Amino acid sequence: MKMKTKMIMMMMKKKLVANKGLPPSRESEVLQNISARLFDCFLVATYCYRSFETQQAIYQNFVDQYGEEAANRFSAKPGESEHQTGLTMDVTSESVDFALVEEFGSTKEGEWIAAHAAEFGFVLSYPEGKEDITGYIYEPWHYRYVGEEHAKFMKENDLVLKEYLNEY
């Protein structure tokens, strides 16, 4: 887990520096407005849509550094990433230095989005305790849009998308 955290923090800092001075993405603007208005917190959507080529580069970087088996627990192979659908975003905040880390889940911002994401049609893709079902480690920053009705049902019934699609 520590190795992933370090790599993501490095990637995140590079992205923030590369985007310095540019307008925020539309997803980030919406998220910031909603979170600030409703809970007096500031959330940032970092990684949203990824092309096949971008996912391939990210995945290969993890494989090169940690081996394929480890990479498969925290990074999707190209063609299998939720980010490639355009329906997913990684969310972070200043309280964790804009990193994608487990600690985000216990911050004010992480707790807010966990409690309210379904109201806006989002579900946590890789919740704690569902690793055997999702195939991925706990990622309190990784949210996927499924629509309000589906998100609320999934939250109420403690289901991840894979369970929901298989059972309903």
pTM higher than the cut 0.85? no
pLDDT tens sequence across 57-90: 999 999 999 999 999 999 999 999 999 999 999 9
CATH of domain 2-18+27-167: 3.30.1380.10
pLDDT tens sequence across 112-136: 899 999 998 999 999 999 999 999 9
- Of residues 90, 110, 85, the one with CA closest to residue 45: 90
* Structure tokens belonging to residue 83: 């980010």
In the prediction, which pLDDT does 32 show? 59
- Of residues 67, 108, 73, 71, the one with CA closest to residue 91: 108
Which sequence spans correspond to the domains of the chain? 2-18+27-167
3-state secondary structure of 88: strand
